[in-house]
Amino acid sequence: MPQKIIPPSKFLSDQSVHFWQQKTFLVPVLITIAAIIVSLPASLPVQGRLALFTFLVATIFWSITSLNAAYVALCSAIMLVLTGAISQEQFFASMGSKVVWLMIGAFILGNAVKETGLAARLTYMVVAKANNVANLFWLLTTVLIPLSFLIPSTSGRAAVTYPVFRSITEEIADKQIRRTLCLLMPTVILVSTIVSLTGAGSHLVANDLLEQIAKQEISFGQWILYGLPFGVVASYISCWVTSRTFLNKEQLQKPLNLPQLPAQSLSLKERKTLGITLLMLIFWLTEAWHGLEIATVTMIGAVFLTMPRFGVVQWKSSVKAVSWNLIIFVAATLVLGHSLIESGASQWIFDHIFHWSDVHSTRSSLIIFVLLAIISLTSHIYMTSHTARAAALVPPLLYLASSLNLNPVAVMFLSTLGMDYCLTFPVSSKALLVYQELDEDGFQPQDLLRLSSVLIVIHLVLMVLFYYTWWRWVGLSL
């Protein structure tokens, strides 16, 4: 009797339905387990239980469902209000925090840099000088690093650089070179995130939590002092590892003849954008002298960039360019993070996890540092949201710092640096997805896993080297 042939589309459809059914079953099971875990300890106050349970439920939805992360975060924050875990005033205070306004202003700046063509022009001016594949990789890395100062999200930087990538690959016939380039660009974008306080929303969330718990914060200039040298070194090492892992010597030395841009000076709009950006950077670095916070300076710059007659972009188009989804996500995550702190849930987590692990008994700074590095470097594997990782991990780590009399600034910065590493799976970052979802030029998940298995070890070693050299020299030690 002939066997019935199942069409591939039908098979894939059945597989998708089966996977969806598995997730549908798994979500209530995990929520039930979370409820049981939170209800058992008598030492945790009611508000703490509500805050911890809400955060666990949000993490479950973030990790195993396709629901929008911002929607999940906002619903979770609203549940905290409805259950009485936080007040309405606390909810709206976080929604209107300086972190939110800083990100809005930074997105307007990023839009001006993109719309005026300044970012693409400066990038291509440098890249067009490459005479072979190896030089192209080094020059691209050099150009991608400063974008962390201008565009406050990794996915935004990926979107800005995507047209440049497509323009370059049109001139390259070798498929393996195109694929390696496709892997290099998001890798450098992610690795170089640490160079700037505005490089990612998670940096702003972590800095806000540091201020909430330890009454300290890292200024824009201090962040550059700590993060820029590491980000630059890590980016160039990542470039070298990526190129040598996927390309041979012959491919790297392959000559290129990229088209040159027409010789013309910067337009008036480009000069205005560049001038306002440099002024903003100066004011960011000199905050201690003039007293204007970075968020205030950013919004002033945004106003000038969108000013009628004088500005370079229209206000309406700039507002549309703001990633409101990310803004709401960051704001709602701040609500969740603050509720964990103010309800005592973060302190409870520290008492019952770090004490059980007996970490508090050690006095070796190397052991503590390595443990901190491993936790943060691997956090992207079990929690894909960058901002959520900061909200979940920074508070208990800061309480650990307090218990061990460690420098909270060092603990926050080092853990944030580790959390910036998210290269193992494509879902770990939207920047990876932007490039991975290309048709013929996109890299494969196994390519990323192969690269990450090397880079994560290099990152750990590099963190240890920097800790015992540069960071200690500039006063960043545990």
Question: How much is the average pLDDT of 449-465?
Answer: 92
pLDDT, tens only, 146-183: 888 877 777 778 877 777 787 777 777 778 888 888 89
Residue with tokens 């000199």: 286
Q: Using CA atoms, how far apart are residues 136 and 127, in angstroms rounded to an integer?
A: 6
DSSP characters for 128-175?
Answer: TT--BHHHHHHHHHHHHGGGGGT-S-HHHHHHHHHHHHHHHHTT---H
* pLDDT of amino acid 355: 58
Q: Is the pLDDT of residue 217 over 90?
A: no
Helices then strands, counting H and E runs in the chain, come out as: 24, 0
Q: Is the pLDDT of residue 423 over 80?
A: yes
* pLDDT of amino acid 359: 56
pLDDT band at 473 (very low <50, low <70, confident <90, very high): very high
pLDDT band at 350 (very low <50, low <70, confident <90, very high): low
CB atoms within 10 A of CB 257: 9
Torsion over CA of 409, 223, 423 and 357, rounded to 10 degrees? Answer: -10
pLDDT, tens only, 37-54: 777 777 778 888 888 888
Tokens of 385: 């949201």
Angle at which helices 386-403 and 365-382 cross, to 10° = 160
Please tell me the least confidently modeled range out of 143-147, 259-263, 443-447: 259-263
pLDDT, tens only, 385-398: 777 788 778 888 88
Backbone angles phi, psi at 410, to 5 degrees: -65, -40
Q: Is the pLDDT of residue 4 over 50?
A: no
Angle at which helices 154-169 and 175-191 cross, to 10° = 160
Q: Is the pLDDT of residue 20 over 50?
A: no
Question: How much is the average pLDDT of 405-416?
Answer: 90
pLDDT band at 30 (very low <50, low <70, confident <90, very high): confident
Tokens of 405: 């009399």
* Contact status, residue 338 vs residue 94, Cβ threshold 8 Å: yes
* pLDDT of amino acid 235: 95
Question: How much is the average pLDDT of 421-449?
Answer: 76
Question: How much is the average pLDDT of 237-252?
Answer: 90
* pLDDT of amino acid 364: 67
DSSP 308: T
pLDDT, tens only, 292-310: 888 888 899 999 999 998 8
* pLDDT of amino acid 343: 81
Most confident range, picked from 6-15, 270-279, 346-355: 270-279
* pLDDT of amino acid 437: 61
Please report, rounded to a whole number, the percentage of residues in the chain having pLDDT higher than 90: 18
Q: Is the pLDDT of residue 61 over 60?
A: yes
Q: Using CA atoms, how far apart are residues 208 and 94, in angstroms rounded to an integer?
A: 10
The average confidence (pLDDT) of the chain is 81
Helix (H, G, I), strand (E, B) or coil at 255: strand
Question: How much is the average pLDDT of 196-215?
Answer: 86
Nearest alpha-carbon partner for 217 in 91, 86, 398, 467 = 398
* pLDDT of amino acid 15: 44
Please report, rounded to a whole number, the percentage of residues in the chain having pLDDT higher than 70: 88
Q: Using CA atoms, how far apart are residues 240 and 258, in angstroms rounded to an integer?
A: 21
* pLDDT of amino acid 131: 82
Ramachandran quadrant class, 421 (left: phi over 0; alpha: psi -120 to 50; beta: rest)? beta
Q: Is the pLDDT of residue 66 over 80?
A: no
* pLDDT of amino acid 23: 60
Q: Using CA atoms, how far apart are residues 294 and 11, in angstroms rounded to an integer?
A: 54
Q: How many residues does the chain have?
A: 478
